[in-house]
A and B are shown apart, each in its own frame.
Chain A
Amino acid sequence: MDYKLIITAIITLILALPLLLTFVSRTFLNKMFEIALHYAKKLGFLQSINGVIRVGKTSAQSGLKHLYEIDIQQNLIKIILQTKQVFNYIDFRILDHMIEERLKDIWKGEFKLGISYQIEFDNLTQDIINWFKEIELKDLKSTIIFNFTSAKKSEKYIEDYVFAYFCLNYRKNYVLSKTPIYSHITGSMSYQLDPEEFKINDSYNMRKYAIYDYMVMLVDEYSDDFAASARYDDMKETSGVKDYLRKFGQIHQERNRLITTKQDVKDEIKKLRNLTQSNLWIPIKVEQRGTSRMLFKFIKFIYSFWFRFYDLTIVLFRYIKQKHKISNILLNILIYLLYLILLLPIYLFTSFSFEFPEFKEIDYKRINIKRHIEHRLLHIDWFLFSIGFNKYEMWNYASEEDVKKRDPSTYEKLMFYIPIQYCFGTYDTHYWSMIQKELLTHSQTVSNESNWFNKESYYKQEEDKGSENDDFEF
């Protein structure tokens, strides 16, 4: 064999390997994301995410929320396309124009869900049907569409079309949450959810209900009022929470999802037994995939290599020039080489670095370049991390009482690969941090540093506690 051929083959392999590896891993991750989307569609409409602290519940909730947003958007587009296929004799340019004209009046560019929207949508549907009857002589009221399995009224198709059109083009928001959360799909913040509205009987009486269809509803432990704090009271409840959760799928026509996160599942069992359809348990802490750590290390090495080269050549030469102040260039170079021979082993094998406090100009230039590189590396790090995927292992239990049990017959193991952008940074993880500030600013007490040698009298302290109110009396 020719050795030249072997060498060229090895070089080709080394050069081609990064491209091939990137291609394979990216294809794998994208495929797994599609599978995650499929898994998410398979889950029930009421879900609870359970796990111990710091395991990734909130990020999993955020990731699942994004998956459902994609699902909802796909469904809306599907409904619009299907309606257009069903009514091939209707000119949808006219219909869309009618909807747009009316929705402009209703919506007015406001980012809130009004109470009277449902009435307006119903009126709009009726107006459209009447218009088609009078002008185009097409009856949409009393006709049905048969799809070889069942029949659906034409009116219902138009109603769904109007609402889907509104959601897709005007509302552009598919999230209801008490804690604010950002969506990368629509680029908007969530609508406010009041968990009190789940008590449908009360909400009907108080006329206070703003949960619309095509929404992902998020309830986390911080905002979950009726699970943790009120677990024992109101056992025979008449407010309608149980009723609402039991009929959830049918009330919202299987368009909505409710995701709750909690640490301790047993909180809710007492009160709302077995009403959560998919109970997801996260046994292992979330892991990151495809964040290109090796590539980042390589880039870091290249930058540090370049900076060390810059240190040993330009910076050192400048220093010598300024320190010895010799005008002869050749002599300068000679001194530089001497310095280099002395410094090179120290520089290469120890953590020694240059510092020139007496020559500020050289020092500042050098530090500026170093800081510029660090700033750049930070951005590269952020970018490479952001294109990665989060890997969640979730065990899906059908019954809430089985959660945490290691019996394989009770759960189904699911793998979720979700882009990191969908999981991290969508949520203000320190949403209640103002409590600390408010407490501190309101407080009037002081905490002193404790003294090792000074032992305070125990009974004196007791006395002090007793006379708390006399502190300001002298």
Chain B
Amino acid sequence: MMISNFNFIALTSSQDWINFLSGIIISLFITYIFIIIKFNNFINYQIEINDQYRNKMTSQYDKHDEKNDKL
């Protein structure tokens, strides 16, 4: 069916409405799953970056301490 042919007046019987709404529900579910996956990836990425920085900082401080020890 063409999208341009879609008409709300065509949704006369309750079964039509149920089909229409269940279509929306499925698309909403897909949207939510997509958002959750994206959000999850984003948080993972942030944690990874934080860990990297933490390691970097600590390694820098270690080096600094080593230098001091040598001196």
Residue B32 lies at the interface, judged by CB distance under 8 Å to chain A = yes
- Tell me, in angstroms, the Cα distance from A264 to B63 when the chains sit together: 47
Interface string of A197-212 (1 = CB under 8 A from B): 0000000000000000
Residue B24 lies at the interface, judged by CB distance under 8 Å to chain A = yes
- Tell me, in angstroms, the Cα distance from A15 to B32 when the chains sit together: 9
Interface residues of B in 24-55 (CB under 8 A from A): 24-25, 28-29, 31-32, 42-43, 46-47, 50
The contact of B18 among A8, A15, A16, A383, by CB within 8 Å, is A8
B28 A4 Cβ-Cβ under 8 A: no
Residues of chain B lying within 8 A (CB to CB) of residue A1: 14
Residues of chain A lying within 8 A (CB to CB) of residue B61: none
Given contacts A19-B31, A376-B43, A379-B47, contact A11 B14 (CB under 8 A): no
Residues of chain A lying within 8 A (CB to CB) of residue B17: 5, 8-9
Given contacts A5-B14, A8-B18, A19-B31, contact A379 B46 (CB under 8 A): yes
A379 B25 Cβ-Cβ under 8 A: no
Residues of chain B lying within 8 A (CB to CB) of residue A379: 43, 46-47, 50
B43 A19 Cβ-Cβ under 8 A: no
Residue B58 lies at the interface, judged by CB distance under 8 Å to chain A = no
A8 B21 Cβ-Cβ under 8 A: yes
- Tell me, in angstroms, the Cα distance from A19 to B30 when the chains sit together: 13
A9 B21 Cβ-Cβ under 8 A: yes
> Total interface residues on A, using CB and 8 Å?
16
- Tell me, in angstroms, the Cα distance from A376 to B43 when the chains sit together: 8
Q: Which of B21, B31, B42, B46 has the largest number of chain A CB atoms within 10 A?
A: B21
The contact of A376 among B14, B18, B28, B47, by CB within 8 Å, is B47
- Tell me, in angstroms, the Cα distance from A11 to B29 when the chains sit together: 11
Residue of A nearest to B16 (CB): A5
A4 B14 Cβ-Cβ under 8 A: yes
Residues of chain A lying within 8 A (CB to CB) of residue B47: 375-376, 379
Residue A380 lies at the interface, judged by CB distance under 8 Å to chain B = yes
- Tell me, in angstroms, the Cα distance from A11 to B25 when the chains sit together: 7
How close is B15's CB to chain A, nearest CB, in angstroms? 8
Chain B interface bracket (under 10, 10 to 19, 20 to 34, 35 or more): 10 to 19
How close is B64's CB to chain A, nearest CB, in angstroms? 19
- Tell me, in angstroms, the Cα distance from A371 to B67 when the chains sit together: 35
Residue of A nearest to B28 (CB): A15
Given contacts A19-B28, A379-B43, A379-B50, contact A12 B21 (CB under 8 A): yes
Interface string of A1-26 (1 = CB under 8 A from B): 11011001101100110010000000
Residues of chain A lying within 8 A (CB to CB) of residue B21: 5, 8-9, 11-12
Residue B22 lies at the interface, judged by CB distance under 8 Å to chain A = yes
- Tell me, in angstroms, the Cα distance from A208 to B40 when the chains sit together: 54
B28 A2 Cβ-Cβ under 8 A: no
Residues of chain B lying within 8 A (CB to CB) of residue A12: 21, 24-25, 28
- Tell me, in angstroms, the Cα distance from A111 to B64 when the chains sit together: 25
- Tell me, in angstroms, the Cα distance from A8 to B46 when the chains sit together: 38
B46 A15 Cβ-Cβ under 8 A: no
- Tell me, in angstroms, the Cα distance from A92 to B29 when the chains sit together: 53
Interface residues of A in 15-71 (CB under 8 A from B): 15-16, 19
Given contacts A16-B24, A16-B28, A19-B31, contact A380 B18 (CB under 8 A): no
- Tell me, in angstroms, the Cα distance from A379 to B25 when the chains sit together: 30
How close is A22's CB to chain B, nearest CB, in angstroms? 10
Residues of chain A lying within 8 A (CB to CB) of residue B28: 12, 15-16, 19
Interface string of A375-402 (1 = CB under 8 A from B): 1100110010000000000000000000
B43 A15 Cβ-Cβ under 8 A: no
- Tell me, in angstroms, the Cα distance from A314 to B62 when the chains sit together: 40
Residues of chain A lying within 8 A (CB to CB) of residue B43: 376, 379-380, 383
Residue of A nearest to B19 (CB): A8
How close is A299's CB to chain B, nearest CB, in angstroms? 9
Residues of chain A lying within 8 A (CB to CB) of residue B25: 8, 11-12, 15
How close is A425's CB to chain B, nearest CB, in angstroms? 15
Residues of chain B lying within 8 A (CB to CB) of residue A380: 43
Residue of B nearest to A1 (CB): B14
Residues of chain A lying within 8 A (CB to CB) of residue B50: 379
Residues of chain B lying within 8 A (CB to CB) of residue A8: 17-18, 21-22, 25
Residues of chain B lying within 8 A (CB to CB) of residue A9: 17, 21
Given contacts A379-B43, A379-B46, contact A15 B22 (CB under 8 A): no
5 A–B contact pairs at CB < 8 A? Answer: A2-B14, A9-B21, A19-B28, A376-B43, A383-B42
In the complex, besides A8-B25, A379-B46, 17 extra interface pairs with C-beta distance below 8 angstroms are: A4-B18, A5-B14, A5-B21, A8-B17, A8-B18, A8-B21, A8-B22, A12-B25, A12-B28, A15-B25, A15-B28, A16-B24, A19-B31, A375-B47, A376-B47, A380-B43, A383-B46
Query: 4 shortest A-B CB distances, which residue pairs?
Result: A2-B14, A8-B21, A15-B28, A5-B14
B residues lining the A interface (CB < 8 Å): 14, 17-18, 21-22, 24-25, 28-29, 31-32, 42-43, 46-47, 50
